[in-house]
């Protein structure tokens, strides 16, 4: 089995590579990543010399480079994590989101058609469903919930999902799509809520909470997301969408206070700042389908996962300090200078 994992130098993709090396030691993995600001090759250092692993610095929008790679590697499966993933950045500069998230997905699927593939899996998000009101805790996103997006990021992910469905129906491409809720865990880029708050809190810097901090997200430990994708690859039905989430809804302000409490700091660090434009109020996934069809259930309780995550950031300060000070960008040059 040879699997291309795009976006594997990012948060979830790298965790997926580590998960697959542990659980399927006979698989060959090829990580395709452009190494944007969010890609950090240092993260992949533990697998760089693994004979079952290869890294290819490629932009998924670069059709020639992608085709050449498929020609050389002849992959059986492609899992597409590569994306511009940060909502705030999409509000500032939408175009790169449309290029990578939509057109990059198209290039990958064209390569799958040209060279043949057993499965193309698209890693999507619950944000394609828009948001839910705070006063209706009985409502959840199911796979049948209409797409209804709020940000350029979520619109680009929904567009890609539609294109993936179209390639299945029109060309018979064997696709699956997963739509997961907010992930947390090791190696998340410190621009996202949880790692940003941990990093700022340890440095006694202000903790910027958007609006009043009442927005709700449905948090899932990253390894549980990886396990769900693995199950979909093994037993999922071609053409299907699977929602992934662990019924763990939290208000942003409560997460921030939990981090402050764990690190023994003062709540005076909390700074309420101007709200995100178009800010989604609440996400909440109904994971009944993936549970019934594939037996998936999350294994990590939030109370344990958040402590593990905070401990990881404290134990791995150089990883995120190199990001904050920018030196992680030189790692690729150092890593490949003598290869
Ligand atoms: P991330 O920003 O941490 O990583 C994205 C990776 O993709 C980076 O390594 C980056 O270098 C790479 N990349 C970006 N553009 C590329 C291009 N044109 N060609 C090749 N590589 C490129 O993102 P993440 O949080 O790990 O998210 C991974 C995927 O999961 C995304 O598709 C995202 O939409 C989806 N998702 C994320 C979450 C979450 O909570 N983080 C939840 C559900 C779904
Ligand atoms: O739901 C899945 C999505 O989760 C993924 O598709 C996205 O790629 C991922 O980035 C994430 O999107 P969010 O916008 O929910 O995540 P973020 O960490 O940016 O923000 C979480 C919440 O915290 C959100 O309500 C905004 C708020 N926030 C965020 C930051 C960075 C703050 O209050 N302050 C902040 O500084």
Backbone angles phi, psi at 180, to 5 degrees: -105, 155
Q: What is the pLDDT of residue 327?
A: 78
pLDDT in tens, 49-67: 999 999 999 999 999 999 9
State the pLDDT at residue 336: 65
pLDDT at 168 over 90: yes
127 flagged as catalytic: yes
DSSP characters for 276-308? Answer: PTT---B--B--HHHHHHH-----S-HHHHHHH
Catalytic residue among 126, 218, 249, 280: 126
- Residue 140, Cβ neighbours under 10 Å: how many? 21
The packing angle between helices 222-235 and 11-23, to 10°, is: 60
Does residue 252 line the site of ligand 2, with CB under 6 A? yes
CA of 136 to the centre of ligand 1 (A): 30
What pLDDT sits at residue 101? Answer: 98
pLDDT surpassing 90 at residue 337: no
Residue 338 pLDDT grade (very low, low, confident, very high; cuts 50, 70, 90): low
Q: What is the pLDDT of residue 333?
A: 73
- 86 ligand 2 Cβ < 6 A: yes
- Global pTM? 0.97
Closest listed residue to residue 121, CA positions, set 35, 179, 183, 194: 179
- Taking only the tens place, the pLDDT of each residue in 212-223 is 999 999 999 999
Quote the tokens at residue 78. Answer: 């492609």
The single residue of 19, 129, 153, 283 carrying the catalytic annotation is 153
Distance 240 CA to ligand 2 centre (A): 26
- What is the pLDDT averaged over residues 118-136? 98
Regarding the beta carbon of 87 and ligand 2, being less than 6 Å apart is answered yes
What is the model's pLDDT at position 326?
85
**154 Cα: distance to centroid of ligand 2 (angstroms):** 12
Confidence of residue 330 (pLDDT cuts 50, 70, 90): confident
pLDDT of 159 higher than 60: yes
Question: What are the structure tokens assigned to 338, written together?
Answer: 């003598």
pLDDT per residue as tens digits for the range 264-315:
999 999 999 999 999 999 999 999 999 999 999 999 999 999 999 999 999 9
Q: Average pLDDT, whole number, for the chain?
A: 97
Look at ligand 2, atom 6, and give the residue with the nearest C-alpha.
125
Check if the beta carbon of residue 94 is closer than 8 Å to that of residue 149.
no
pLDDT of residue 335: 65
Q: pLDDT tens-digit profile of 76-113?
A: 999 999 999 999 999 999 999 999 999 999 999 999 99
């Amino acid at each position: 089995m040879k699997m291309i994992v795009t976006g594997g130098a990012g948060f979830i993709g790298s965790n997926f590579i580590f998960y697959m090396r542990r659980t399927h030691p006979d698989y060959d993995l090829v990580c395709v990543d452009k190494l944007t600001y969010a890609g950090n090759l240092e993260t992949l250092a533990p697998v760089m010399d693994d004979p079952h692993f290869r890294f290819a610095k490629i932009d998924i929008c670069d059709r020639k480079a992608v085709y050449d790679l498929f020609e050389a590697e002849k992959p059986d499966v492609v899992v597409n994590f590569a994306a511009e993933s940060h909502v705030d950045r999409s509000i500032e500069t939408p175009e790169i989101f449309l290029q990578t998230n939509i057109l990059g997905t198209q290039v990958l699927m064209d390569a799958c058609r040209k060279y043949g593939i057993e499965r193309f899996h698209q890693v999507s998000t619950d944000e394609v469903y828009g948001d839910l009101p705070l006063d209706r805790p009985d409502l959840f996103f199911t796979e049948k919930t209409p797409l209804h997006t709020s940000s350029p990021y979520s619109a680009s992910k929904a567009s890609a999902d539609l294109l993936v469905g179209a390639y299945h129906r029109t060309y018979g491409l064997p696709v699956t799509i997963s739509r997961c809720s907010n992930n947390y865990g090791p190696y998340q880029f410190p621009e996202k809520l949880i790692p940003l708050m941990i990093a700022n809190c340890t440095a006694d810097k202000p903790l910027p909470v958007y609006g009043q901090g009442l927005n709700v997200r449905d948090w899932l430990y990253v390894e549980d997301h990886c396990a769900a994708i693995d199950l979909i690859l093994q037993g999922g039905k071609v053409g299907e969408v699977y929602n992934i989430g662990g019924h763990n809804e939290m208000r942003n302000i409560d997460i921030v206070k939990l981090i402050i409490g764990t690190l023994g700091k003062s709540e005076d660090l909390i700074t309420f700042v101007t709200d995100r434009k178009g800010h989604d109020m609440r996400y909440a996934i109904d994971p009944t389908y993936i549970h019934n069809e594939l037996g998936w259930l999350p294994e990590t309780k939030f109370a344990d996962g958040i402590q593990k995550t905070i401990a990881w950031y404290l134990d791995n300060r150089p990883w995120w300090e190199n990001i904050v000070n920018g030196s992680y960008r030189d790692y690729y040059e150092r890593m490949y200078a003598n290869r």
